[in-house]
Structure 1
């Protein structure tokens, strides 16, 4: 009895939520009362079907509801400007089915679906304003991300292959989905905010997409303009600072259990980097900022495949180095792979730690070496491509960060910081 009342209450609540949006939108065919009744109708039908084991009742209810909705639209045709659409009608059928599902299925799933329906209906204005503004490159980014995450990922085998039995196609592609997703988010944040917030913030957003690409773009730009030396230097520095924040996000996403061990030293480097970036930004002349070049589309199948191949190679190299060379070999792998892609070494090391092959108290050091190696590569890029004025600002900052990272590798204790703090707190309480 109590469970049935809960089902009816949830159905009523979801019906009210969706109906509220429809009522506010001045939809004549169904408003807050009608949607509440439709969802309750589905829930009651589901309870009856469950009680008497008559599942055919769901079909009977849908047919009856479809007839009522169809008649309503038929009568509306006599109006001067009839608004005969499909959204409200489909929403009504869906909410009936949702009410039925609440009675026989999972309550949590039902609530999530109901909330999603209300949200989709509410966001009509946002979609109407935003979608016409999307260009071909934007649509391509969305479609490629959908393809790599919803089409390719599910069909890949979840088995281990190759030497050392470490190559899992689904696991590798999941890392591709994570990296492409982060880059696409950064790309659209730039599209929506970058041009409104000035060159400084736009450069930071460019770092979310690719700090290496941002470094290359602005290094070239520095040779073409004479008035924005400090602004361009800030963008290059800030993009690299963001790359360390991105490393932290990747570690948390793939191995959240290592947060207390891996994140603190990486966070120290990120904080120092951000503080220096802010100082350079304060010194720059915002009035002389140049127009920010729009970033390239980060979601491309070619890029995804290259990352997958690189990730697989690094996984193999880690296994080989661990087996044949020990810890010194892992430092070499991190140093070399970081030159090309810091994301690949970060994710591969985190995954290897998850499997217990590498101790997290050592694993963060390899990630740090990869990050510093990538910074070294971007420093070389700046020296070869940027103007001397920009190079004189960027290179000392990069050297400071590399120095901080190296010092941390040697002096940071092998501890889980969160467990240590928790243990000290408990000891204090017991005393």
Structure 2
């Protein structure tokens, strides 16, 4: 099994789905969200076969597909009321290529491709229903993410610039793609469940999209609308913040998976504490219903550029602090950067840990301090924008988490390192 081969097939499938989504949204009668992935994968399989048998395989595949398109259009002209599709024909060509590849290539790859084709064929109603629910705004979000991830990222230079050689445009934008991708995942989960989601799902989706934006939205609702329950608003804000801590662990897993055995346990302890605290609040929330407000598009180019600038600034700040103050300087950067964005300091610290420029024991503490700083900032937002009632509840919940986080910082193994570093500043 070759990971590179699966990567090629995955890209082929993704591009086919992307084009198929756009064509389906435009109500193309010739080919849609199922047919284009089948065609793209058929082309990939033909290309793989051509490596052993020559380019005539690709030419024959193109000729066959062209004949199918011509035949389908001819039938449509002759019988305009007949719904002519290419799904069965494309699937037949694909399965022919898969069958050949089973003999000539990696059997595991062929099985995966065949199973994927079967799933696509089976999910006709589900995929068509998904496309029908997508509006112009949602399609714009998808295309903007394509620009961010598949147009801008590949052309950025993969080399270091600037002071301390820490500003690598490709690596910086790769982190932008990661964060925007997480936000987009939450956004589309909201599009599926959001309008009918209650307090629990609203908090989870809010944490995936943006816990800070969720905090601002719900705090304002308690101030602008006297009928909004401060208890429900506080629970949603708290759940979104808990999800943001879990999101930090995921980011570390993506950027520096080798550090997880050391970094994940203390962060997970804080998350579990928040989970228990939030679960207790949720059980006693009462019967009041709540509806999640409309969410903004997380894939806007302006948002991506702002995060990229913040991440680059944090990279420079961490390099400067490390050079002049050692690890203790990174704690100061964590407090400051965590006030507005915990993702940037998390990703930069994860990279430093993966290159052994920061010890793992210092690394998780830097990330946790940034997360606690972010909680303090959001509590302040609630105090400024929300009602007194919701601020009191949020302050109590966040205060408990801050106290528990301090205990984790103090009592976790090798607990005196942080104090010594702070005293050395």
TM-score (norm 2): 0.79
CA separation in 1, counterparts of 2:360 and 2:261? 10
Unaligned runs of 5+ in 2: 1-37, 416-425
Structure with the greater alpha carbon radius of gyration: 1
- Seen in structure 2, the aligned counterparts of structure 1 residues 150 and 113 have a Cα distance that, compared at 3 Å, is farther
Runs of 4+ in 1 over 6 A off after TM superposition: 68-81
Could you say what secondary structure the match of 1:159 adopts?
coil
Taking the aligned partners of 2:214 and 2:300, their CA distance within structure 1 comes to 17
Whole-Å separation in 2 of the counterparts to 1:241 and 1:284: 17
Counterpart for residue 390 of structure 2 = 390
Find the aligned partners of 2:106 and 2:171 in 1 and give their Cα distance: 29
Instruction: Verify the 8 A CA contact 1:247 1:346 in the aligned structure 2.
Output: yes
Once the two structures are superposed, what CA deviation does each residue of 1:229-276 show, in whole Å capped at 9, x if it has no partner? 211111111111111111111111211111110011111111111111
Aligned CA distance change for structure 1 residues 159 and 396 (closer, same or farther; 3 Å): same
- What CA distance in whole angstroms lies between the structure 2 residues aligned with 1:61 and 1:200? 51
- 2:262 aligned partner: 261
CA RMSD of aligned residues (A): 3.1
Match of 1:413 in 2: 413
Residue correspondence of structure 1 range 114-133 to structure 2 within 5 A = 114-133=114-133
| Conservation of the 8 A alpha-carbon contact between 1:209 and 1:298 | yes
Give how far 1:82 is off: 4.3
CA distance in 1, matches of 2:69, 2:162: 58
Distance 1:277 1:57, change over 3 A: closer
- Match of 1:340, SS state, is coil
Offset at residue 290 of structure 1 (A)? 4.0
The answer to whether the 8 Å contact 1:234/1:281 transfers is: yes
Q: Where does residue 326 of structure 1 map in the other structure?
A: 326
Conserved 8 A contact 1:62-1:96: no
- Structural mapping, 1:94-113, within 5 Å: 94-101=94-101, 107-113=107-113
Matched, 1:278 2:279: yes
SS at structure 1 position matched to 2:339: helix
> For residues 390 and 186 of structure 2, what CA distance do their matches in structure 1 show?
25
| Corresponding residue for residue 6 of structure 1 | none
How far, CA to CA, are the matches of 1:335 and 1:87 in structure 2?
A: 55
Query: Which residue of structure 1 lines up, in the alignment, with residue 213 of structure 2?
Result: 213
Does structure 2 conserve the Cα–Cα contact (< 8 Å) formed by 1:182 and 1:209? yes
8 Å contact 1:172–1:312 — kept in the other structure? yes
Deviations 1:43-92 (A, max 9, x none): 9xx69x95xx6653664576578769977997899889644322333333
Q: Secondary structure at the match of 1:292?
A: coil
**In the aligned structure 2, how far is the partner of 1:296 from the partner of 1:72?**
41
Return the alpha-carbon distance in structure 1 between the equivalents of residues 75 and 134 of structure 2: 38
Aligned counterparts of 2:154 and 2:164: Cα–Cα separation in 1 = 24
Q: 1:190 aligns to what?
A: 190
Distance 1:77 1:165, change over 3 A: closer
What SS class does the counterpart of residue 372 from structure 1 fall into?
helix
Taking the aligned partners of 1:175 and 1:278, their CA distance within structure 2 comes to 32
Match of 2:248 in 1: 247
Counterpart in 1 of 2:368?
Answer: 368
CA distance in structure 1 between the partners assigned to 2:65 and 2:177 by the alignment: 41
CA deviations over 1:402-422 (Å, ceiling 9, x no partner): 11112211221149xxxxxxx
TM-score (normalizing by structure 1) = 0.78
Range that drifts further, 316-325 or 146-155: 146-155
Aligned residues: 371
